[in-house]
Each structure stands twice: as C-alpha cells, then as structure tokens.
Structure 1
Amino acid sequence: MFVSEAAAVRVLLVDDEESYVDTLRKRLSRRGLSVLTANSGEQALETLAANPIDVVLLDVKMPGMDGMETLSRIKQAHPRVEVIMLTGHANVDVAIRGMEQGAFDYLMKPAEMDDLYYKIQDAHKKIQLSEKS
C-alpha cells in the first residue's frame, strides 16, 4: 500500500446505516485515506460545501434524499468530485442509472475492502488526470 499516495485522497462516506459507516470509516482510515462521514444526502451536501472532498462513497438507498437525488446535487455543485455508488443487489439497475448520470462506478454492498480501496484510487487518478488537462 502506498500510504503517501492514499493520504492525499479525501473521501466522504454517505450511508444511513451508522454502524456500517463507522466500521468502513475505520477500515479506510487504516489504509491512509482521509475519511469524513454523513448519514444522509442533506448532511453529505453540507459536508461537501464545507470541506474539500475528492471521492464520495454514496449509498443508493437512504431515507429522505436518496442516493440518486444526492448524486444529482453533488454533480451540479461539485462536478469534479467523483462518486462511487454503493448498492445492495436489488438496486443494481439504480446504480447503473447513477453511472449514466455521472457516477464514477458502483460496488455491491458489502464491498470487498481491496475492491473499494482500488476503486477509490482509480477515481482519484481520474481527478488528477482531468486537472492536468
């Protein structure tokens, strides 16, 4: 693992399941990522407005503002932020629709930690490449 490379990546984890968020935050932080959390779409937008974020991990199914609405608002306000959708097996079609609306990619929950970590790195590399051009 390249901690110096990972340390530059600022991640926002958005999910209404607080125990899942807490566990995933700890696991990603141990890999050197800077992780903030939000438990709703509204809270995610507030966090994005107040903090520089590179990659958002966004649950598709949340009460109130769901993942699709949150994705739409993130891309409007922060077009350079990459969004990875997290979905249960029943919501794969929704996640694919999310990619059509600007999400970087999607992963099934619970995602393998290595898969999630490398997907975050790929999204960050895309941001770096777009900033160079």
Structure 2
Amino acid sequence: MNDEPIRLLLVDDEAGFLDVLQKRLGKRGLDVTVAISGAEGIQTLRGKDFDVAVLDLKLEDMGGIEVLQIFKKMVPELPVIMLTGHGSEQAAREGMAHGAFDYMLKPCDLDDLLNKIRQAVGQAETGN
C-alpha cells in the first residue's frame, strides 16, 4: 500500500454524524469528502476519484441501494460499505447482493469502521 491517504467518500443525511465522522477519520489520516444526500454523493463521485465509499442506507432524497447501484455503474471497482442504523439488516444484505463490499450497523465503533475501510481498500488494490 502506498503512502497516499485513503480517499473516502462519506454519504449520510445526518449532518452531525457526518461532521463528527469526517473529523475523527480525518485525524486518523484519511482524506474524507462528505455528501449530505444521495444526489450530492453522485455529483461528488463524478468530480473526484475515491478509494472507498461509506454510504448510509437510509437517505432522505433517495434510497441507499439506488445510490449504490448508480455508484457501481459509475465506478464498478469502487468498494462501498453500507451503514444502516434502522434495524434493516435485510436491506443491508440486499446491498451486498448489489455489489456492496460489506455493511455495518450504526452506531459503529470508529476503529471497526476504519478497519473495514482499510480492508475494502486493500482488497480493491489486490483485485480480490
């Protein structure tokens, strides 16, 4: 793995959660770009390259599965980690069926999320 920071796209419609996560992951050396909606996440992905995306399953403007499908059409090799906080593990598993790398339940431990992000990026780099 190179010395470049991991470029993370974080998509969630909870502004407070987004802000805290951006700061905490940024302090751990990640280059974090945030989007407050599915549409903003799609626009952001059009304009910049990312190593990994963390995507909330429940967004106000569109469903996380729909955003995931669009992300995978735009950048098929981009690993996407789904976050779900609404007891909807079934929907998260549906995300896996649509190409998500994995899913985590919110609230998740920051170190667990960081490990999952690194695992996703490592797997994408090796092509496994």
Verify: 1:60 aligned to 2:24, yes or no: no
Other-structure match for 2:110? 113
Conservation of the 8 A alpha-carbon contact between 1:6 and 1:121: no
More helix by share: 1
Structure 1's 80 and 87: CA in aligned 2 closer, same or farther, altered over 3 A? same
Conservation of the 8 A alpha-carbon contact between 1:6 and 1:33: no
C-alpha distance in 2 between matches for 1:59 and 1:7: 25
Greater than 3 Å deviation, 4+ residue runs? 4-7
- TM-score, normalised on structure 1? 0.91
The one-letter code matched in structure 2 to 1:106 is: Y
Conservation of the 8 A alpha-carbon contact between 1:7 and 1:33: no
**Alignment equivalent of 2:27, drawn from 30, 34, 40:** 30
- Secondary structure (helix, strand or coil) at the match of 2:29 reads coil
- TM-score, normalised on structure 2? 0.95
**Alignment equivalent of 1:18, drawn from 6, 15, 18:** 15
State percent identity of aligned pairs: 43
The one-letter code matched in structure 1 to 2:45 is: L
C-alpha distance in 2 between matches for 1:62 and 1:83: 15
- Secondary structure (helix, strand or coil) at the match of 1:90 reads coil
Q: Which runs of 5+ in 2 are unaligned?
A: none
- Secondary structure (helix, strand or coil) at the match of 1:57 reads strand
**Alignment equivalent of 2:97, drawn from 76, 96, 100:** 100
Verify: 1:78 aligned to 2:75, yes or no: yes
The alignment yields a C-alpha RMSD, in angstroms, of 1.6
Verify: 1:124 aligned to 2:118, yes or no: no
C-alpha distance in 2 between matches for 1:30 and 1:24: 10
Segment of structure 1 superposing worse, 60-69 or 114-123: 60-69
C-alpha distance in 2 between matches for 1:5 and 1:12: 19
**Alignment equivalent of 2:41, drawn from 27, 32, 44:** 44
Give the number of equivalent residue pairs.
128
Deviations 1:47-76 (A, max 9, x none): 011011111100000112110100000001
